[in-house]
Amino acid sequence: MAMRHHGSVKCAVVREALSARLDGEQQPQLPPGVDAHLQSCARCRGWLVGAAAHTRQLATASARRGPDLTDQILATVRARAVSTASLWWRGALIAVGVGQIAVAAAQIGGLDFGMVHTEGHGAATGAHLLHESTAWLVGLGVAMIAAGIWTVAAVGVSAVTGAYAVALIGYVAVDAASGQVTAARILSHIPILVGLVFVLLVVRDRFGPPRRRGRDRDAEPLMAPLPEVRRRDHLRPVNQSAA
């Protein structure tokens, strides 16, 4: 579509001259009749206002200092560190659970870890206690593995393991004082205490107080929006030399 013109000056010539002025290009003098053309051509006036606003937006965006993203980056790094630690705790809990099942399998295979044997009727009782201990180890081992995979179950596992560990420590102390338990049997209980520590760490990570991870900043744009450019009430004659 051909560019319109008013009077003796075409719109294309006027806009090219005005664009050069907005870009800061030095010209000896604008073509004659530009001011008169602007007074009579509404389209060129509108084009000049839009071009001036666009130029100002670009200049403002270039001069604007970017936002400080240091806190957001550090929060992301901390979140990744916490996530890595959580994976370690869960993996360790699963490993302890596997260890519990391994101890139970050893007891099923005939290894008694130094349980005291008695003769006659007491021997049958001792064998049954060994079976009960094996069942407990299997149950706790499976529960720890489940809590390491599905952390929502860690609270229940920690409660059961904690109560069992407290009672076990009391009985071991009494039996050790009376010579009813061997050192090998005491050492076989250590995985239970280690598992309790790791399951409590998983519970703290899963249900503990929330950590600040910069989520509030995630909603903020990386670049602030450009300020709205107000339209000037009037334009000075472009034929006048720039100050």
pLDDT tens digits for range 25-84:
656 566 667 777 777 788 888 888 888 888 777 777 655 555 666 666 666 655 555 567
Query: Residue 28: what pLDDT?
Result: 52
For the ranges 2-16, 67-81, 196-210, the maximum mean pLDDT occurs at 196-210
Q: Is the pLDDT of residue 218 over 50?
A: no
Q: Is the pLDDT of residue 142 over 50?
A: yes
Query: Residue 234: what pLDDT?
Result: 42
Query: Residue 238: what pLDDT?
Result: 47
3-state SS record for the chain: CCCCEECCEEHHHHHHHHHHHHCCCCCCCCCCCHHHHHHHCHHHHHHHHHHHHHHHHHHHHHHCCCCCCHHHHHHHHHHHHHHHHHHHHHHHHHHHHHHHHHHHHHHHCCCCCCCCCCCCHHHHHHHHHHHHHHHHHHHHHHHHHHHHHCHHHHHHHHHHHHHHHHHHHHHHHHHHHCCCCCHHHHHCCHHHHHHHHHHHHHHHHHHCCCCCCCHHHHCCCCCCCCCCCCCCCCCCCCCCCCC
Query: Residue 63: what pLDDT?
Result: 54
Q: Is the pLDDT of residue 2 over 60?
A: no
Least confident of 25-29, 86-90, 186-190, 232-236: 232-236
pLDDT tens digits for range 152-174:
888 888 888 898 899 889 888 98
- pLDDT band at residue 239 under the 50/70/90 scheme: very low
Please give the average per-residue pLDDT across 141-150, as a whole number: 88
Q: Is the pLDDT of residue 229 over 70?
A: no
Q: Kindly report the pTM of this predicted structure.
A: 0.45
Query: Residue 221: what pLDDT?
Result: 43
pLDDT tens digits for range 81-132:
556 777 887 888 888 888 878 877 877 776 666 555 555 444 555 677 777 7
Q: What is the mean pLDDT of the chain?
A: 71
Q: Is the pLDDT of residue 216 over 60?
A: no
Query: Residue 209: what pLDDT?
Result: 64
